[in-house]
Chain A
């Protein structure tokens, strides 16, 4: 069993401030952490490994200082860490990021062992797009299981995996073949703590560093700024809405009356909706 976990080093959003005048994010001096969802992905990967054997490789694309995040991942018990770093990757959007990561994952397959599962977090806490996981799956032609809260079982001989996927209003139980890509939610798992031995091993480990060529990337124009059609025009802190939520006192009135009043007030704001609904009702 070989599992690749993609992790991203992100600024600790709890400590980020938005500049009151320029409205830009003030990143200076903000400590970095591993994207929280990626930690849940890592924990899930380690559990699968501990149960079924094999290896966990952590992969990140980032500047040289992203090595810190990889070392941290090693202290949790990951077996191998790969840093994808090259000035050609600077300025990547989700398209370029997914491209570079998928190439690197193929290279990991060539150099070590073909992955049975690729994990990403559901989304990051800085970019927040939730696009990179699916982007990798598409490029590697992997079945994608998104918003997974839990892996319920893995049957290695049948090469099958069952997961719980959280969605609005319920839980999907999905069964799929391996290999697959999973984007991980916060999950139900408690994240383990590395031991002193793990900390020592992490400090002693070599981090594998690949530039674009070493990651098997031939077409540099698909990387970094050049490969990124996205333009971030402006980043700003949204102004709070004028409208405030209304608190309704239910002790005086019957719930049924309150509901009727609410529906009536919605219809005064949206007459078209009333029309649509009544014609749907009569049809």
Chain B
């Protein structure tokens, strides 16, 4: 169910293997990877990064410094391309004065099945834990956005492709309970290749587990906003990702059930320009609106105020 084969194996291995796609996307991928490496390092490292490090936009090739890019919320100043960012960045963008409390950060994955592919699952987990500050593919935080208290659950693609496993399912469930106890709105920021295969059927069952919790949130009359970012696939789109009172997305994000390569192989045809992008989903009626990252905080504030007042 992890539908983005290439991207997932890339994030699984942590190797610098170049994507073997032909055509114009090749240069794009290389630049993109170089940039992503720069922007997904842990926060402490990020601060130590020399100011003069340059980054090039994969869409329009505009060159600017990484600090300039960060200033612009990792959105290309020239063409509005939204770079992929992680939970830390989203929390800093959304919460007032970058202040928030992280919840349930003591929950971690275990290799219950003793799953081994090219590497044992436990080893993969250990490696990511030693390389990053991330504990799993989702972090939950509570804090104020423009003085409205909000619970935000945000995925990190860097952690096994943002995959949905037992930990994400449990954190999501506890976040819902927290919202119900404290009568708070809930925002989930998705960025995931799909279910975590190393947890086999347990990962699949998280679709039902999280949907069940959303049923309780709905009965409590509380607001659930699903923000889909690049990329969101498989189990996320087949569960809570598409179950928001409002499903919204960043511009240009790839969103779908099956990954583009799988579809291409199935129908044996090239996919049209813009297929599975946010704008495509909006056109087909599956998104309520698309929101620029720079307008995200204010638009969320307006929406929540409209609902709650």
| A joins B in a complex | no
